């Protein structure tokens, strides 16, 4: 029954993809390979490694590289992947797919603004930056809603002033925001346009949702990556108001989205000293973010079951930056991480906590919560759902310890 439902969903998605006017969403936009999958099957479309299929899906059993909604290189070709379950609506699935397909298109054209995700994970938590960032995001929203061109420009000038102030505070760390806006802003933009082309209700619903994400003082600062995606979206929407041909000009430029946007804004409008002081709302947001990060790590530590600690030389090779929590020298992968131990890859398809020194990719301590105790066999421990890992193993009640070479 599940397989038949999957076939029906994939047929509807394929129909939408065929009917989509991709260049209308973004100049030169062409779809790459894409797939719909669940924990059992993968339905792959439009992949150059599989020809003469008349547009039909290549169907095969799920493989471990199909995790999350993202873009992967499958058989050395950019492939957008989205996970389906029985609670997912087709229109929602299609919008997410358009977003990921656009990332594939960016890869094909050698998009130069892809950020180092690790810099975002290590982004500094500062009250003054939070305050200024909240103010500039409110101004983006006000500028988008403002009909009077003079008042709109005043909002944009004030926005530019606050961003210039943040550049002085963050220095090179703000580059992560600029790159993320440049890559994800257009991707969210085409996702929004896809909703807009379906019906006005979907577009208005999306816009209200994105506006909440833009302005929420707590979520904006807790989820940095996503918040940059949304500010990038609103910059794109504002550019539509400033110059209807902006996309054609932007794609041929060597500027980040913010740098390009700044060309349309007059000199920064000076803001008086009273407005420069950090607000109580910013202080509360700072405390909220700090507490929430610590809470997630504490919840992991307090989970029931067997506590397995692995020590030795390890390296993360694939991860989800949206769902990583970094506090001090602790980094929590909330859902999955693929890592390498003794030159062998292991997919940890569950929460994992790592301890690192200077580089969050390389670490020497990993903690897992297990529902079943590993099985010891000939110098290996076999962990259900993960695999067999060689090393020196010992137990102390429900505390388990593995040292790898």
Convert the pLDDT of each residue in 256-272 to its tens digit: 999 999 999 988 666 66
335: pLDDT strictly greater than 70: yes
Chain-centroid distance, C-alpha 194: 19
What is the predicted pLDDT for the residue at 377?
Answer: 87
- 123 lies in the same domain as 272: yes
- Cβ atoms of residues 8 and 2 within 8 Å: no
| Residues 202-228 pLDDT 10s | 677 889 999 999 999 999 999 899 999
> Cβ of 79: how many Cβ atoms within 10 Å?
26
Mean pLDDT of the chain, nearest integer: 91
Spatial contact of 301 and 330, defined as CB atoms under 8 Å apart: no
How far apart CA 88 and CA 372 sit, in angstroms, is 31
**Apex 281 CA angle, 231 and 140, nearest 5:** 25
Residues ≥6 apart with Cβ < 8 Å to 303: 351, 369
Contact indicator for 192, 210 with CB cutoff of 8 Å: yes
Residue 355 is classified by DSSP as E
Question: Is 374 part of a structural domain of the chain?
Answer: yes
Mark whether 273 and 145 lie in a shared domain: yes
Do 267 and 338 lie in one domain? The reply is no
Contact predicate 73/67, CB 8 Å: no
**Which residue carries 């105790």 as its tokens?**
373
Same domain flag for 149 and 258: yes
In a domain, 341, yes or no: yes
Locus of tokens 């499958």: 74
Residue 86 pLDDT > 80: no
Query: How many domains, the chain?
Result: 3
**Mean pLDDT value across residues 67-93:** 91
216 in a domain, yes or no?
yes
Identify the band that residue 278 occupies on the pLDDT scale cut at 50, 70 and 90.
confident
Q: At what angle do helices 224-242 and 127-145 cross, to 10 degrees?
A: 30
Residue at which a domain ends, from 90, 105, 139: 90
Bigger pLDDT: 168 vs 277:
168
- The reply to whether 23 and 72 lie within a common domain is yes
User: Any long-range contacts for 14-20 (C-beta under 8 Å, 24+ apart)?
Assistant: 14/45, 14/55, 14/57, 16/90, 16/94, 17/45, 17/46, 17/94, 17/97, 18/55, 20/98, 20/194, 20/197
* Predicted confidence (pLDDT) per residue in 349-378, tens digit: 999 999 999 888 999 999 999 999 999 988
The per-residue pLDDT for 271 is 65
**Burial degree of 61 (CB within 10 A; 0-12, 13-18, 19+):** exposed
For position 85, what pLDDT does the model report? 86
Q: Residue 111 — left, alpha, or beta (φ > 0 → left; ψ -120 to 50 → alpha)?
A: beta
Residue 288: inside a domain: no
Residues 277 and 157 in one domain: yes
Please tell me whether residues 260 and 167 are part of one structural domain: yes
**Where would I find the H helices in 278-360?**
280-301
Q: Is residue 329 part of a domain?
A: yes
Q: How confident is the model at residue 1 (pLDDT cuts 50, 70, 90)?
A: very low
- The reply to whether 62 and 199 lie within a common domain is no
Contacts of 24 (CB under 8 A, 6+ apart): 193, 197
- End residue of a domain, out of 72, 90, 108: 90
Q: Which residue bears the tokens 């397909």?
A: 101
My answer on whether 51 and 125 are in the same domain is: no
For the beta carbon of residue 276, count every other beta carbon within 10 angstroms: 14
Does some domain include residue 248?
yes
Q: Is the model's pLDDT at 3 over the cut of 60?
A: no
pLDDT exceeds cutoff 60 at 275: no
- Is residue 371 located within the same domain as residue 233? no
Q: Is 153 exposed, middle or buried (0-12, 13-18, 19+ CB in 10 A)?
A: middle
Residues 80 and 152 in one domain: no
Reported pTM:
0.82
Answer yes or no: is 267 within a domain. Answer: yes
Domain encompassing residue 53? 2-90
Residues 126 and 272 in one domain: yes
Residue 296 lies in a domain: no
Report which DSSP code applies to 360: T
Q: Taking residues 71-93, report their average pLDDT.
A: 91
Q: Note the maximum CA span of the chain.
A: 76
Interval 301-316 mean pLDDT: 94
Q: Is pLDDT above 70 for 236?
A: yes
What is the rounded average pLDDT of the residues 157-183? 96
Pick from 363, 364, 379: nearest CA to 394: 379
Residue 198 reports pLDDT greater than 80: no
Return the residue matching tokens 């202080």. Answer: 283
- Look at residues 55, 90, 125 and tell me which one is the last residue of a structural domain: 90
């Amino acid at each position: 029954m599940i397989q038949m439902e999957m076939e029906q969903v994939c047929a509807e998605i394929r129909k939408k993809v065929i009917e989509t006017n991709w260049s209308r969403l973004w100049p030169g936009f062409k779809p790459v390979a894409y797939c719909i999958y669940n924990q059992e099957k993968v339905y792959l479309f439009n992949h150059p490694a599989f020809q003469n299929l008349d547009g039909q899906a290549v169907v095969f059993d799920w493989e471990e590289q199909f995790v999350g909604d993202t873009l992967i290189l499958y058989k050395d070709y950019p492939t957008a992947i989205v996970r389906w379950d029985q609670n997912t609506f087709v229109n929602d699935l299609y919008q997410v797919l358009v977003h990921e397909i656009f990332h594939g298109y960016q890869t094909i054209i050698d998009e130069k603004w892809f950020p180092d995700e690790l810099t975002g994970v290590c982004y500094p938590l500062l009250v003054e930056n939070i305050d200024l960032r909240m103010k500039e995001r409110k101004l983006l929203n006000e500028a988008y809603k403002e009909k009077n061109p003079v008042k709109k420009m005043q909002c944009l000038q004030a926005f530019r002033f606050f961003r210039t102030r943040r550049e002085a505070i963050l220095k090179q760390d703000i580059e992560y925001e600029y790159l993320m806006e440049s890559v994800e802003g257009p991707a969210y933009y085409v996702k929004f346009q896809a909703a807009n082309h379906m019906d006005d209700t979907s577009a208005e619903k999306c816009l209200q949702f994105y506006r909440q994400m833009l302005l929420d003082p707590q979520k904006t600062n807790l989820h940095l990556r996503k918040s940059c995606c949304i500010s990038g979206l609103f910059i794109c929407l504002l550019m539509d108001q400033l110059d209807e041909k902006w996309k054609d000009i932007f794609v041929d430029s060597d500027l980040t989205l913010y740098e390009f946007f700044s060309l349309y804004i007059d000199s920064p409008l000076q803001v008086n000293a009273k407005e420069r002081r950090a607000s109580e709302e910013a202080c509360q947001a700072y405390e909220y973010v700090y507490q929430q990060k610590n809470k997630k790590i504490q919840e992991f530590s307090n989970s029931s079951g067997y506590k397995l600690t692995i020590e030795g030389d390890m390296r993360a090779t694939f991860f989800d930056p949206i769902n990583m929590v970094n506090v001090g020298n602790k980094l929590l992968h909330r859902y999955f991480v693929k890592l390498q131990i003794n030159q062998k890859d292991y997919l940890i398809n569950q929460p994992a906590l790592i301890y690192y020194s200077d580089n969050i990719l390389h670490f020497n301590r990993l903690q897992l919560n297990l529902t079943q105790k590993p099985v010891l066999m000939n110098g290996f421990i076999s962990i259900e759902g993960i695999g067999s890992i060689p090393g020196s193993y010992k137990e102390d009640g429900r505390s388990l310890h593995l040292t790898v070479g």
